[in-house]
Amino acid sequence: MRFFRLLLIAIFGFIIFLPTFNLYGQAEIQINMDNLGKAWQEFVAAPSPEKAQAIYDILPNGIDGKEVRLQVDVRNLVNQSINVLESQIFSGDKISLRVAFRLFTIADDIMTQSISVILGNYLRFNCSVFLTELKSHRHLVDNLSLILCSFSVSMAGDPTGMELEKKTRLKAIDYVDLDELKDIKKECSKLLKKCKTK
């Protein structure tokens, strides 16, 4: 009798946790309108560091072999209002900056390009903060060159402007004088110097 009771408990437990695993036993991360979508809408309606933190907590801190199940509408929602996140970042909201890095875990090509341009421009705006957060979130950035070499859309077809921006970013990186950022500075400088502007 006790055996059957334990068996029922085991089956019940398996049913409860089944939605978090796929057929191969691989853990899943569910991102939909009920969690990220709702948090993003609240952030866009009235941006604040607290609401940015709610988004940050929902977004994965890396995939680690997990499968991300993302509702298509969520990505569209973020893409359509990414400018709100950009405004918060440039207003000095560090949590929003961290959100931008974590968005790479769910980004399509459009979102990746938007985030890269935002972060690339922010590098010059506040380089020490950029490097500090990049160091903490480096594991989320597959292609750092994309961030470093992404310039404002207004510079498209303007090699002189892009070259000037490249030099300005290099100076901003060089100006940061913190021992704990020495390695990330070196990596960024090396990659930025390779950015093609012509």
Convert the chain into a string of H (helix), E (strand) and C (coil): CHHHHHHHHHHHHHHHHHHHECCCCCEEEEECHHHHHHHHHHHHHCCCHHHHHHHHHHCCCCCCCCEEEECHHHHHHHHHCHHHHHHHHHCCCHHHHHHHHHHHHCCCHHHHHHHHHHHHHHHHHCHHHHHHHHHHHHHHCCCHHHHHCCCCHHHCCCHHHHHHHHHHHHHHHHHCCCHHHHHHHHHHHHHHHCCCCC
pLDDT recorded at residue 154 = 58
pLDDT recorded at residue 16 = 42
Report the largest interatomic distance among the alpha carbons of the chain, rounded to a whole angstrom.
81
Q: Which of 66-70, 115-119, 152-156, 170-174 has the lowest mean pLDDT?
A: 152-156
pLDDT recorded at residue 155 = 64
198 or 114, which is more confident? 114
pLDDT in tens, 23-79: 444 467 788 888 999 999 999 999 999 999 999 999 999 867 677 788 889 999 999
pTM beyond cutoff 0.75 = yes
Mean pLDDT of 85-94: 98
Mean pLDDT of 144-162: 83
159 or 180, which is more confident? 180
pLDDT recorded at residue 198 = 77
pLDDT exceeds 50 at position 12: no
d(CA 78, CA 82): 6
